[in-house]
A and B are shown apart, each in its own frame.
Chain A
Amino acid sequence: AQSVTQPDIHITVSEGASLELRCNYSYGATPYLFWYVQSPGQGLQLLLKYFSGDTLVQGIKGFEAEFKRSQSSFNLRKPSVHWSDAAEYFCAVGETNTGFQKLVFGTGTRLLVSP
C-alpha cells in the first residue's frame, strides 16, 4: 500500500526567507503527487499536482515542487515566504493503477512565519 511521510511536524521560517517542505512517498508504480494547503478553520486547497512530464511543477501562490523518482520525494518550495503562507501543508499520493482513485495523505507540516 502506498504511504506518505512528512518528516517535519512544524517549521518556522522568517518572512522573506526561502522555504522547503519535505515529502517522501512509497508507491510501486508511477505516482500522482499533490500538495494541499489548509488555512486555519478551512478545508484543503490544492497547491499543485504532478501527473507526468516535467518533474518541476508550478502551483498557485508562487509554490513549486520537484518530483525526484530516485529519492521518492516531492518537496515543496517557495523562494520568499509571506506571512499569509502560515498554514498546514499536506502532501498526498494518488493511486494510478487501480479501478478507483483515492488519495493517501501525509500527517502534515505546520508552517509558522516569523516577522
Chain B
Amino acid sequence: DVKVTQSSRYLVKRTGEKVFLECVQDMDHENMFWYRQDPGLGLRLIYFSYDVKMKEKGDIPEGYSVSREKKERFSLILESASTNQTSMYLCASSPIGQAGANVLTFGAGSRLTVL
C-alpha cells in the first residue's frame, strides 16, 4: 500500500525551539508539499518541492524552511517556533504530469502545539 508517512503525529514544543517535521513517501513522486491546516482557514500551502534540492515558496512561507536532500524525503523546519505556529501540518506528494501532478496523496498529519 503506497503511502506518505509523517514521522510524528503529535508534538509539543516550547517557544523558540527548533522543530523538524519529517515526511517520507514511497511512491517515487517528484512533487512534495507541506500544508498547514487551521479551523476556518482550510489548507494553506507553506512550501513545495518539484525535485531534489529544489523548493518553492507557497502562500505562507514566513517562519518556515524546508529541506529535500533525497527524493523520498521532505522536511519542514521551524527555526524558532512560536505559538502562532500551533497547527496541523499535512505533507503530500504527487507525480509529475499536467493532470496527475494535482492528484495529491496525503500523510496523516502532524499536530504541533507550541507552548
Contacts and interface: CB of A to CB of B under 8 A. Distances in A.
Contacts, number: 65
14 contacts: A34-B102, A42-B108, A43-B90, A43-B107, A44-B92, A96-B98, A100-B56, A100-B101, A102-B33, A102-B45, A102-B48, A103-B45, A105-B35, A105-B44
Interface in A33-55: 34, 36, 41-46, 49, 51
B78 interface: no
Most buried by A among B33, B48, B58, B104: B104
A104 B58 CA distance: 10
A45 B105 CA distance: 7
A101 B33 CA distance: 11
Q: Which 10 A-B pairs have the closest CB atoms?
A: A94-B102, A43-B106, A101-B101, A107-B42, A105-B43, A44-B106, A105-B42, A43-B108, A51-B99, A32-B102
Interface string A17-41: 0000000000000001010100001
**Interface range for B:** 20 to 34
Given A9-B40, A44-B43, A102-B102, 19 more contacts: A6-B42, A32-B102, A36-B106, A41-B109, A43-B4, A43-B92, A46-B103, A49-B102, A49-B103, A90-B43, A95-B102, A96-B98, A100-B31, A100-B48, A100-B50, A101-B101, A102-B33, A103-B102, A107-B40
B12 interface: no
Contacts of A42: 108-109
A43 B109 contact: yes
